[in-house]
Amino acid sequence: SSLFVYPTKLIIKTCGTTQLLKSVPPLMSFARDLGLSLCACRYTRGSFIFPKAQPFPHTSFKEEVFYLEQNLPVNLCYRKASVLPSKMAAHSWHVFAATTDRTYELVPVTFTMEICMTELDRVQARKFFRRANDGKNGDMAGGEMTQLTGINDINPSAIICDFAFDPCGYSMNGVDGDRYSTVHVTPEDGYSYASFECVGAIYDDHHDNIDKMLKKVVQVFKPATFSVSTTCSIDHDVWTHVAHAVEPLGWKCRSCVMDKFPAAGSVVFQTFTVGRR
Amino acid sequence: MAVSGFEGFEKRLELHFSGDDDPLVLHMGLRLLDFQSIQQVLDAVQCNVISAIGNQYFDAYVLSE
């Protein structure tokens, strides 16, 4: 799990049975003490593998939306909740967004890419298990996994903060100027999962870099299935880079849907499955 | 019988705030939150900070779970 704190923006991403939305009331309270007021909110997630294990308020998307509706200030009145489907029933993308101002725009114009990978290649997944009694702490073991798996090569200019859990699992945050990236891995066979998330600016002259980055991400984990959600504050074709990057490597786009949300802009949700390796 | 394992799929929340024209708020804003306040927020979520890094733009925390 990860937390990123900017002067006027906060991103928190947690897995397992954490009660993420319960962070909203205390965050608003602490922010108010600093003279800050909430002006936009976006909540996203994929489809849980074990939905019945989730505690309140994450027992269903309906419950999550209800909780947010009850806990956000009334002036965040432009609100929308939607589930973006795919051809695979177990893979859909849940989005809730709210803002005080329908014309609220993120400046500079940025995109967020969230990749959720399942059924990881077993050889690759094994690299995220620690050796018993390795005598290392989580930071040291994490650093080794970062090197061994090639995660350090996804964005070579990022400063990486990584951690390996015992007996398995891995988390890392990458810091590159004002941009973050993050990787989380649950390698156990039967419910293996890895995520990658990054932000970028659409006016960057680095679209080749997006392609290279996407190729590296899928090659680190070699998932049988993955989804990519691209959120962009304006209509832009940044999402088209995903298929362009991964289809030559053997993954095929199975579905692609788009929807628009207040303060978030357009969200494009794509799913991919492996065709050949 | 349903077999349950660790849930990998994350929940993600992004919050944007606006402040007054106080240069300090504009410059640092939420980054002025002390560690105790951050931990109080994380207590509600049920996780902890296990590693941290930061630069002139933002702070990044790796969390348990």
Strand (E) positions, chain A?
2-5, 9-14, 36-45, 78-84, 93-99, 110-118, 159-164, 170-176, 179-186, 193-201, 225-232, 251-261, 265-274
Q: Report pLDDT for A104.
A: 65
Per-residue pLDDT reduced to its tens digit, A181-223: 999 999 999 999 999 999 998 777 666 788 999 999 999 999 9
C-beta of residue A171 within 8 angstroms of C-beta of residue A162: yes
Total residue count of chain B as it appears in this document? 65
Chain B CB contacts of A40 below 8 Å: 14-16
Give the mutation candidate from A2, A4, A8, A52 for the B interface (greatest B CB count, under 10 A): A8
Give the mutation candidate from A1, A29, A58, A182 for the B interface (greatest B CB count, under 10 A): A1
Residue B33 pLDDT greater than 60, yes or no: yes
Cα atoms found within 13 Å of the Cα of residue A131, Cβ hemisphere only: 6
The residues, ordered by sequence, that sit 6+ positions from B23 with a Cβ below 8 Å of its Cβ are none
SS3 state at B37? helix
Chain A CB contacts of B45 below 8 Å: 12, 14, 18-20, 22-23
Residue B21 pLDDT greater than 70, yes or no: no
Residue A115 pLDDT greater than 90, yes or no: yes
A 110-149 → B contacts, CB under 8 A: 112, 114, 116, 118, 138-139, 142
Residue A100 pLDDT greater than 70, yes or no: yes
Under the banding of pLDDT at 50, 70 and 90, the label for residue B1 is very low
Q: Report pLDDT for B19.
A: 85
Q: What is the mean pLDDT of residues A166-182?
A: 97
Q: What is the mean pLDDT of chain B?
A: 90
Q: Report pLDDT for A66.
A: 98
| pLDDT over 90 percentage in chain A | 86
Q: Is B6 on the interface with A (CB under 8 A)?
A: yes
Q: Report pLDDT for A273.
A: 97
Q: Report pLDDT for A167.
A: 96
The ipTM is 0.96
SS3 state at A45? strand
Per-residue pLDDT reduced to its tens digit, A14-27: 999 999 999 999 99
Distance CA B58, CA A199 (A): 13
Distance CA B49, CA B57 (A): 19
Distance CA A215, CA A196 (A): 12
Q: Is A7 on the interface with B (CB under 8 A)?
A: yes
Give the mutation candidate from A13, A18, A22 for the B interface (greatest B CB count, under 10 A): A18
Q: Is B2 on the interface with A (CB under 8 A)?
A: yes
Under the banding of pLDDT at 50, 70 and 90, the label for residue A95 is very high
Chain A CB contacts of B46 below 8 Å: 17-19
